[in-house]
Structure 1
Amino acid sequence: MSKALQGHRARKRFGQNFLQDETVIDAIVDAIAPEPGQPLVEIGPGLAALTRPVVQRAGHLHVVELDRDLATRLENATEFQGKLTVHRADALKFNFSELAATEGKPLRVFGNLPYNISTPLIFHLLSQVNTISDMHFMLQKEVIQRMAAEPGSKAFGRLTVMVQQACQVLPVLEVPPEAFDPAPKVDSAVARLVPYSESPWPVKDRATLNHVCHMAFHQRRKTLRNNMKKLMSADELESIGIDPAARPETLNVGDFVRIANWVTEHERTL
């Protein structure tokens, strides 16, 4: 670690857990497979555990860092001079589409995401998914299980539908707590998300799909007849091949997209 990055203590308010296991770091960087000329963006570089080897392979990297102290340290680190563009910003508000337009090609996004913002950050990225070629994220293992879940499982929910409608979800590796400092109280994992050039389930409006999923899964034990009644009647659900007596987790991604597209076409008020 360069002198510029030494002495920083993890801050709870930023959800910081710094990756330190070299074997895990190597496996993640191999999975990303960065190459020169690619527009790579790291969210939350922290103490540069992934930043360093990625820069060595790619030659240049954009990083989005909210912690002002860490941003300053990264800017001042001699090893990164001319190789790092530091964006002092909240990743939840960062305009990835604008950066992709500047770069002239889709972004490759990666990071060890703070667990406290991982789900809203995934949703923020999905809203700009047309400007992203792939994503590699370290997340709480439970979150990755939810993203990759099959219909009928307890893990299947709003996150599953929203991610799988837009991306292929490919688990990469599992990471134990001792790979971090400080060690989190949960297991972690890495997943690759690859946006579809054309989704198997084209959706007319992603915000409507999100709203439909929120309504459907808000009370998981209730049937769709109950959960969706403010948007669609039981007869209307049946008209598009959806069983009103079904529970939400028994549907598949295509079913939710079909509901969302019907709602959009019929201009139902959300």
Structure 2
Amino acid sequence: MDRLSMPKVTKDIVQKYGFKFSKSLGQNFLVDSNVLLKIVDGAQIEEGDCVLEVGPGIGTLTRELSKRADKVIAIEIDKNLIPILRETLSDRENVEIINEDILKLDIKKLIEEKFEGKRVKVVANLPYYITTPIIMRFLEENIPVKSIVVMIQKEVALRMNAQPSTKDYGSLSVAIQFYCTTSIVANVPKTVFMPQPNVDSTVIRLDLLDEPPCSVKDRDMFFRVVKASFSKRRKTLLNCISSSELGISKDDAFKVISGAGIDEKRRGETLTIHEFAALSNEVYDFLESVKP
């Protein structure tokens, strides 16, 4: 079964079980051993590691992960893939397959039960339509994760990894980089999948930070300010903040932006994460001061 990444082997397995690819689940199986090894190498899986894989497909990547990790838990939503996984992973004693929706699963409880609460490394090949909700769940819910290595749509990876004053920089960039450091592992052409998707992919690595890179007085306010700052990309920060759901007048918006040491004529996409923190802290203090 170590030849699963070969197109013919994948095709034979799929035909044997009469498996039908689901567009709604975004199913595309990787059929390239070189890319496979880049993902495993990028995840830096070592002896003793606990790995949580999301979306194992027919187990191609799962097998490689299990050769290096202490234990692998693979979460697969499609019940039609479970019989295939039981065959392709039958000789991998350190692998457990769970037929669940990762968005509905109690991940903290799972990690506590299966990995004794140890911090895990997450590896995933995610459907494009659900990439951000899954990643943000791992980041926002304080789940014990060391790193996330994920294959996603190239454009989304570029946004996650983007720096200020670039066309890809936006609220997603800030949200991801509030919790992680980011690095691109590999770019993956659409030709190495079965069936072939419409877009190219990128493998990105997210290393979770022990603490955010900046100090914020209120995390919810921080993300509200970031969202407001990117709401009108061609408008100045002053216009974005004063016309947002924050409920701040233009005069008061000028005061809080100046108070953060930022030129009100700048645009949101030029601000660093530290400047967003300073701005959100000013907005928080102002709104607290005018509470009835």
Using the size of structure 1 for normalisation, the TM-score is: 0.89
**2:42 counterpart SS class:** helix
Is 1:247 matched up with 2:246? Answer: no
- Give runs of aligned pairs for residues 139-178 of structure 1, distance below 5 A: 139-178=152-191
Partner letter of residue 243 of structure 1? D
Which digits, 9 at most, give the CA deviation of each residue in 1:113-151, with x for residues without a partner?
A: 111111222222221355210110111111111111111
- Give runs of aligned pairs for residues 70-149 of structure 1, distance below 5 A: 70-75=81-86, 77=88, 79=90, 82-102=93-113, 103=115, 104-129=117-142, 131-149=144-162
**2:266 counterpart SS class:** coil
What stretches of structure 1 of length at least 5 have no aligned partner? none
* 1:34 counterpart (42, 45, 50): 45
Partner letter of residue 94 of structure 1? L
Asked if the contact 1:135/1:193 (under 8 Å) is kept, the reply is yes
Which digits, 9 at most, give the CA deviation of each residue in 1:211-249, with x for residues without a partner?
A: 222222122112222222242422112111122222110
**2:84 counterpart SS class:** helix
Partner letter of residue 279 of structure 2? I
- Report the number of matched residues: 269
% identity of equivalent residues? 35
Within 2, Cα distance between the matches of 1:261 and 1:64? 39
Residues 25/208 of structure 1: CA separation in 2 closer, same or farther (3 Å cut)? same
Asked if the contact 1:5/1:70 (under 8 Å) is kept, the reply is no
**2:60 counterpart SS class:** coil
**1:150 counterpart SS class:** coil
Asked if the contact 1:168/1:196 (under 8 Å) is kept, the reply is yes
Which digits, 9 at most, give the CA deviation of each residue in 1:16-57, with x for residues without a partner?
A: 111111111012112223234322101111111211111122
Residues 47/184 of structure 1: CA separation in 2 closer, same or farther (3 Å cut)? same
Within 2, Cα distance between the matches of 1:188 and 1:78? 26
Is 1:69 matched up with 2:80? Answer: yes
Asked if the contact 1:220/1:249 (under 8 Å) is kept, the reply is yes
Q: How far apart are residue 5 of structure 1 and its match? A: 5.3
Within 2, Cα distance between the matches of 1:215 and 1:257? 13
Within 2, Cα distance between the matches of 1:78 and 1:153? 44
Asked if the contact 2:58/2:88 (under 8 Å) is kept, the reply is no
Give the aligned partner of residue 228 of structure 2. Answer: 215
Q: How far apart are residue 210 of structure 1 and its match? A: 2.7
Ranges of 4+ aligned residues in structure 1 off by more than 6 Å: none
What stretches of structure 2 of length at least 5 have no aligned partner? none
Asked if the contact 2:59/2:88 (under 8 Å) is kept, the reply is no
CA RMSD of aligned residues (A): 2.5
Partner letter of residue 251 of structure 1? L
* 1:6 counterpart (14, 19, 29): 14
Which digits, 9 at most, give the CA deviation of each residue in 1:135-173, with x for residues without a partner?
A: 101111111111111111110001100111111101111
Asked if the contact 2:50/2:70 (under 8 Å) is kept, the reply is no
Q: How far apart are residue 266 of structure 1 and its match? A: 5.2
Give the aligned partner of residue 255 of structure 2. Answer: 235
Give the aligned partner of residue 260 of structure 1. Answer: 280
Give the aligned partner of residue 213 of structure 2. Answer: 200
Within 2, Cα distance between the matches of 1:186 and 1:196? 30
Using the size of structure 2 for normalisation, the TM-score is: 0.83
**2:24 counterpart SS class:** helix
Is 1:182 matched up with 2:195? Answer: yes
Partner letter of residue 228 of structure 1? I
